Chains A and B, each alone.
Chain A
């Protein structure tokens, strides 16, 4: 296997009977194909050792999970809604809309997470705790938690773009949302008989302090400077209390005091209560710099992170993503997320939203188009491989202006068309976007299938829909051959009601007109039938091979008591007959015709000649007669 950088890696495909789930992620469809062909090569080469097993290679295992499917569907709905926000509104009106859309996305993630957690709980209750399903479900839950955390932070920092005062408030909310256990503990403590004696009491108090409250942070009514002044007063007073040793009697109160002053060491002593470095960061900001400006965040973030995670060698991916967010480096966030997660869902939707907020500078990538489009295309291509979610992908392609259409054209033809109903839906998608080539190819597939099952009418209607003249000609030929063989038409209703579609191909027109002739004959409108029949031959609509049949059809008209063909018409008929027989009598005509067939042909011709002459005679007499 050679990947894009030219590195060759050996891949050992296990040949055991266990089902092994191998997780790959491919950058392009081409490399995936390369892998598949390699796989087939291996399988075919291993015929010596018993029957080889084909391993089903599945891209993007996530999209097959039923609960995650809801995520994809709901976010698709939100995505489409986002695209239709009008561009002409001024940006200050649009910001609340974007924030609410961001909240929608997050609530979808949360709903999914909760459902997964319930599945985990219920499976655990059913005493299957070592079931591998649990592990994968819990993994999913933690991934979704991380995603929601990152998204929330991005919403606070980028989309909502809170200014200095309310920034802290939002950050406090953010942290509080992800630290649910404080509330539980608090509830426990409060419900006990004497809360103050509870062993967790001081922990809870400290946690609640660190989580902050609306009083501690700048509110809406006061300006930043006012708040700053007030806060400094309060801070000095607390400091003075500490220096005065007024809390010296109670160790807990002293600790609390130190925390309220934002003493780093004390805070770090309670690492377990804080849990994460970003909680530490927010608490520290709360107590030391409540009026922090967005641009200053990253100093504190970096320092807090290093203080908190002292012994760890390298930060986890989540930590570096959050740090990049604090540094307002959107591209780094997206890049890190793309690498860390195995599904494009998150980065595609987030980037799209940020792009709508006009936060991404367009910079072109190797693959052409901008970052947003690239991610959306990757995500949608992944969706297209799913047997069911491909319909969602269509909308995503629609909103990728540069390459979306091309991708769609290539992918839509690969959708397997099991039933006519599905084919109709796919066709509707193509027709709405004027993809006439794809329409033609899909219709041809369906028509061929119908043809194979001898459903000529169906095949014809498909080729009419595709406006495929060549195929329509082919099918009309089959119809005519059927008629010659059986003497009746199949699918009469279809041919009768062709309407303007008849003009699609010459052969089809002939078929339609020929059927009309039969109808006229059936309705006993002989004169019109005769005229039609003649015009079919003289206007050269009828193929030469069919003339014999037409002339044979004319026989009953000629044999009628009443003269139907006029003299001129009879002359024309005779001319046609002569033309036909002269071509038939050429010595190069196929000699593999049996004697019987030749006899039949000759008899027919003779009968025709006789009938024509008799008709001519009667016609001349009739036309020469003067009406008295």
Chain B
């Protein structure tokens, strides 16, 4: 807890994202981007927490985020993703999608491409609620119920998929619809087949709260975690559909983002409107002795499902152990005290960054994963 720094930034942060680091270098990420919302002039900004050679900057203590550059943004930033190490895409409440380029040498941001009315109603602007990218393609969804595919180098939209009539919510290579958990999977393997998207009506019942966020397990693609309006964290096995494998009462208000740790997927992070950021950890199946995992406050880990040493990792992940919270899950609060709503979080390696409605950014560089 002592490793967390708060930085007040005079704008309500809606999204924070680490700039991706190349996996070959074992560096921790140093640069992150934020998008603001609810301002008269919203901005997309780039920050750095690295050590500065430039003595002209303010003397914050080590790890204090320093702003490198910023750029005006029309409308609230509803989603922000990095295409690659230099380009990032933002989704706006005016229905626009913009690609920005960050120039690390001159510390400037320029607009590469701008699709002004990616999503719109006949007489109004429709906010573009979320986007996902796998370079060079960008898939965006909006409140008008359409999925639009762009390519980073092309002018117009490549494809407009379907008229999903109910409101669309954040995708992570999958999308979820409000008030029903219908997963729409794209045929990504076959680049040529751009046919209709298969819809997986899992007939999901039991869970009626609208979903706000979804994330897929990085290695085991059938495991999906979702969070919604009631603050419950649900883990699903998409192969089986139906009801969620586990339902955990995570937060007392809407959950805004859920993230699996990209390289260590036994860890999951959620943030919520109630001002808390939780770090979830399943009982790991590794050979790490249990005393190294201690020292945190929260419920007790029960190593119910240990594998034999040296061995055979079972195909099912610890997330599917089915026990809601009691058996193999440990939760830690990551923020020092109740803050205002935490809107967004991102984690790479051991660095966690999150942004709140209290106009503060928190960076933790020593997350125990």
- Residues of A whose CB lies within 8 Å of any CB of B are 66-67, 69-70, 73-74, 76-77, 80-81, 118, 387-388, 391-392, 418-422, 424-425, 428, 432, 449, 452-458, 461, 490-491, 493-494, 496-497, 499, 501
Contact = CB atoms under 8 A, between A and B. Distances in A.
Interface in B278-311: none
A419 B165 contact: no
A493 B177 contact: yes
Contact of A452 (B123, B254, B359): B123
Interface in B1-39: 8-12, 14, 37-39
Contacts of A499: 205, 208
B165 A491 contact: yes
B35 to A, nearest CB: 12
Contacts of A454: 121-122
B88 interface: no
Interface string B319-339: 000000000000000000111
Among A66, A418, A422, A461, the most chain B Cβ lie within 10 Å of the Cβ of A418
Interface in B205-249: 205, 208, 210, 229
A381 B145 CA distance: 37
A81 B337 contact: yes
20 contacts: A66-B11, A70-B8, A70-B9, A73-B10, A73-B360, A391-B340, A420-B129, A420-B167, A421-B127, A421-B129, A449-B124, A453-B123, A455-B143, A455-B165, A461-B166, A461-B178, A490-B165, A493-B179, A494-B178, A497-B179
Contacts of B144: 453, 455
A463 to B, nearest CB: 12
A494 B40 contact: no
* Top 7 closest pairs, chain A to chain B, by CB: A453-B121, A493-B180, A66-B10, A69-B10, A457-B166, A70-B8, A497-B180
B76 interface: yes
A453 B124 CA distance: 8
Contacts of B58: 118
B354 to A, nearest CB: 15
B78 A457 contact: no
A73 B358 contact: yes
Given A118-B58, A428-B254, A494-B166, 8 more contacts: A66-B11, A74-B8, A425-B341, A432-B253, A453-B122, A494-B179, A497-B179, A499-B205
A491 B179 CA distance: 11
A122 B7 CA distance: 21
B208 A73 contact: no
Nearest to A449: B124
Given A73-B358, A419-B127, A67 B179 contact: no
B93 interface: yes
B64 interface: no
Given A76-B358, A387-B38, A497 B76 contact: no
Contacts of A74: 8
B250 interface: no
Contacts of B166: 457-458, 461, 491, 493-494
A14 B280 CA distance: 61
B144 to A, nearest CB: 7
Contacts of B12: 388, 391
Interface string B54-87: 0000100000000000000000101000000000
Given A73-B358, A453-B121, A461-B179, A497 B78 contact: no
Contacts of B257: none
Interface of B: 8-12, 14, 37-40, 58, 76, 78, 93, 121-124, 126-127, 129, 143-145, 165-167, 177-180, 182, 205, 208, 210, 229, 253-254, 273, 337-341, 357-360
B116 to A, nearest CB: 17
Contacts of B8: 70, 73-74
Contacts of A432: 253
Contact of A420 (B39, B143, B180, B208): B143
Contacts of B339: 77
B193 to A, nearest CB: 24
A428 B251 CA distance: 13
Contacts of B179: 461, 493-494, 497
B359 A70 contact: yes
Given A118-B58, A428-B253, A457 B39 contact: no
Nearest to A81: B337
Contacts of A425: 273, 341, 357
A140 B340 CA distance: 27
A67 to B, nearest CB: 7
A76 B338 CA distance: 12
B145 A420 contact: no
Contacts of B145: 455
Nearest to B163: A490
Contact of B180 (A118, A421, A496): A496
A418 B93 contact: yes
Contacts of B208: 497, 499, 501
Given A74-B8, A388-B12, A419 B78 contact: yes
Contacts of A418: 76, 93
Nearest to B207: A497
Nearest to B7: A70
Nearest to A432: B253
B197 to A, nearest CB: 14
A494 B180 contact: yes
A387 B37 CA distance: 10
A499 B204 CA distance: 12
A450 to B, nearest CB: 9
B243 to A, nearest CB: 13
Nearest to B181: A497
Contacts of B78: 419, 421
Among A67, A424, A497, A501, the most chain B Cβ lie within 10 Å of the Cβ of A497
Contacts of B129: 420-421
A56 to B, nearest CB: 11
A375 to B, nearest CB: 22
A76 B143 CA distance: 33
Nearest to B122: A453
Contacts of A391: 12, 340, 357
B214 to A, nearest CB: 16
Contacts of A392: 340, 358
A453 B178 CA distance: 17
Given A73-B360, A419-B76, A387 B143 contact: no
Contacts of A424: 229, 254
Contacts of B14: 421
B39 A452 contact: no
B244 to A, nearest CB: 14
A401 B123 CA distance: 44
Contacts of B121: 453-455
B126 A453 contact: yes
A493 B200 CA distance: 12
B38 A422 contact: yes
Nearest to B125: A418
Contact of B210 (A69, A461, A490): A461
